[in-house]
Amino acid sequence: MKPPHLLLPLLSLPFTLAQQLQQITNFGPAIPSKAKMFIYAPADLPPNPAILVGVHYCTGTAQGYYNGSPYKRLADEKKFVVVYPESPNSGGCWDVSSRATLKRNGGADSNAIANMARWAVKRYKADKRRVFVIGESSGGMMASILAAAYPDLFAAVINYSGVAAGCFFTDSVAGWNGNCSGGRMDSTREEWARWVLDAYPGFKGTRPRMQVYHGSVDDVIAPANYNYSIAQWTTVFGYPETPLEEKRDVPERGYTTQVFGKRLTGIWAEGVGHGVPVHGEEDMKFFGL
Ligand SMILES: *[C@@H]1O[C@H](CO)[C@@H](O)[C@H](O)[C@H]1NC(C)=O
Ligand SMILES: *[C@@H]1O[C@H](CO)[C@@H](O)[C@H](O)[C@H]1NC(C)=O
Ligand SMILES: *[C@@H]1O[C@H](CO)[C@@H](O)[C@H](O)[C@H]1NC(C)=O
């Protein structure tokens, strides 16, 4: 979540900039979610490019995330396509709380985003091993759900200041789970893993590589959420709870990178609040772009 003032400069942007971001209206079968799809593709794409899905925070828009995050610039530099979904819900948060969104092909926002990714893969004949998701805050929560419900579609997922899949469950659309945001959950490791396993029952393939950032003084999504997510994904991957490797001051001073296994890295940002600053270059490294 970003303070609303960050969105204001967007309103005065020259129209030419807005034209670079294109809306796609027919990206998949009709489903209940009315999420919108926008896309940015650099002119000189190589064959079989990578796709990055960039999921905005609450109060966000596709245009806002396009302007305010580094991924458009990085796409120009490294030649990949960026899909910018836009939330249909009032307040601009994603539905990360309904039963439908927590299920594969359940018809809710997560399903709409998966359809956008599928559309882009087809349209650009993308390299299926390089379809990635990045999300911030509410978008980070969505990233966890996409990883859980569409492990076959996404190769790697990065999540800034989000929550574990299922943590925000309220059984209502785009609800706010205060127990989750407040860090007052007492789920076991198995209960955390269950949300992921139930999102796509019977899935036996390779799951996406995951990277999780969380700030130690996050006052919107309590820091305990870092632990929930580590509990969730270490259990799913069958990794030990304690990191195999801990790198201090990586990727920058005050941050600690914890490697739990080949597919899971956590980054604990000491003294950082909600909305850990985006580390675009690091993200590219993680994705191998
Ligand atoms: C996103 O980050 C949160 C908080 O650090 C964590 O609980 C959640 O599991 C993460 N999701 C993914 C997909 O890594
Ligand atoms: C939050 O926790 C309280 C106490 O355990 C419980 O009564 C309440 O139903 C929980 N709320 C949600 C949204 O899960
Ligand atoms: C998270 O887990 C670590 C390691 O087990 C522990 O030291 C820390 O207190 C936990 N943090 C929260 C906020 O629960």
Q: What is the pLDDT of residue 6?
A: 44
Query: E strand or H helix at 249, and its extent?
Result: none
61/55 Cα distance (integer angstroms): 9
Strand 255-261 and strand 245-248: the pairing is: antiparallel
Q: Quick one: tokens of 12?
A: 């005065």
The burial class, CB within 10 Å (0-12 / 13-18 / 19+), for 111 is buried
Which of 184, 218, 227, 268 most suits a substitution to test ligand 3, by most atoms within 8 Å of the C-beta? 227
The burial class, CB within 10 Å (0-12 / 13-18 / 19+), for 9 is exposed
> Does the annotation mark 137 as catalytic?
yes
DSSP letters of 51-91? EEEEE--TT--HHHHHHHSTHHHHHHHHT-EEEEEE--STT
- Report which ligand 2 atom has the smallest distance to the Cα of 175: 13
75/79 Cα distance (integer angstroms): 5
CA-closest residue to ligand 1 atom 2: 162
Is the Cβ atom of 39 under 6 angstroms away from ligand 1?
no
Q: Quick one: tokens of 142?
A: 């969505």
Phi, psi of 190 (to 5 degrees): -65, -40
Q: What is the pLDDT of residue 28?
A: 92
Of the candidates 106, 171, 148, 131, the residue with the CA atom closest to the CA atom of residue 49: 131
Is the Cβ atom of 226 under 6 angstroms away from ligand 1?
yes
Q: For domain 15-287, which architecture applies? A: 3-Layer(aba) Sandwich (3.40)
**119 CA to middle of ligand 3, Å?**
40
Domain layout of the chain by residue ranges: 15-287
Each residue's pLDDT expressed in tens, for the chain with a length of 289 residues: 444 444 444 444 444 333 489 999 999 999 999 999 999 999 989 999 999 999 999 999 999 999 999 999 999 999 999 999 999 999 999 999 999 999 999 999 999 999 999 999 999 999 999 999 999 889 999 999 999 999 999 999 987 878 888 999 999 999 999 999 999 999 999 999 999 999 999 999 999 999 999 999 999 999 999 999 999 999 999 999 999 999 999 999 999 999 999 999 999 999 999 988 889 999 999 999 9
The model carries a pTM of 0.86
Q: What is the pLDDT of residue 49?
A: 97
Reported in sequence order, the residue ranges of the chain that DSSP labels E, i.e. its strands, are: 22-24, 36-40, 51-55, 81-86, 131-136, 156-160, 209-215, 245-248, 255-261, 264-269
Rg (CA), the chain: 17
**247 CA to middle of ligand 1, Å?**
19
**220 CA to middle of ligand 3, Å?**
17
Is the Cβ atom of 229 under 6 angstroms away from ligand 3?
no
How many CB atoms are closer than 10 A to CB 208? Answer: 23
Is the Cβ atom of 227 under 6 angstroms away from ligand 3?
yes
